[in-house]
Amino acid sequence: MTTKLEAINTMLSCIGQSPLNSLEGTKSYFTISAEKILNDEIRRIQLQGWDFNSEDNYPLVPNTDNEIIVPSNLIMINMPSYYKNRYVVRNGKLYDKQEHTFKIDKTLKASVVFCLEFDELPEVAREYAKMSAAYKFVKRELGSEKACAYTQEDLSEARIALEQHELEIGDYTMIPDMYNGNIRSFI
């Protein structure tokens, strides 16, 4: 399995920088830039919501103060249509727009998307994130798409591999997805 260190070393090698032994300690400008771009790509890729980072009927449970604190790694909530857009996320908590309060005394269910750490991703997603980040890193640092070891074709192939993986592990049908009436709420 590809590690975050290996992904960053791949990115650094694309611009002729020496590999790192660790991500700890003092970091160069290029290392900081590579790590930021990789983290941004990891999040961007996961925003779409894949089988590996999505859950349906996820319980949103009130705490002892009757507030539903949204997990910090939750990047999207899709509330079922029967809530009629009643609940939104504000200040890291679920807010009831109908009652104008954060006080919610019952468990709600929603479809959610989590932003996982690099090491929690399936290998096919790590590979796509690494290639996408390397491509963007070279473009930003060297200002040249031609200098990048990964071409648009390589990125397309990695994206197709990720989508094929998704189709293999997901249980998809077109009819329910088209007519479920859910509206996505972005955090």
Per-residue pLDDT of 103-147, as tens digits, reads 999 999 999 999 999 999 999 999 999 999 998 998 888 877 666
The radius of gyration computed from the CA coordinates of the chain, to the nearest angstrom, equals 20
- The per-type count for the chain, helices as H runs and strands as E runs, is 5, 6
The pTM is what? 0.82
Query: For residues 72 and 127, what is the distance between their CA atoms, to the nearest angstrom?
Result: 25
Give the number of other CB atoms < 10 A from CB of residue 34.
28
Contact partners, residue 99, CB within 8 Å, separation at least 6: none
What interhelical angle do 29-47 and 4-13 show, nearest 10? 120
Q: Phi and psi dihedrals of 39, rounded to 5?
A: -60, -40
Per-residue pLDDT of 26-82, as tens digits, reads 899 999 999 999 999 999 999 999 999 999 999 999 999 999 999 999 999 999 988
In this prediction, residue 155 carries a pLDDT of 86
168 HSE (CA, 13 A, CB side):
7
Of 38, 39, 21, 17, the residue nearest 29 (C-alpha): 17
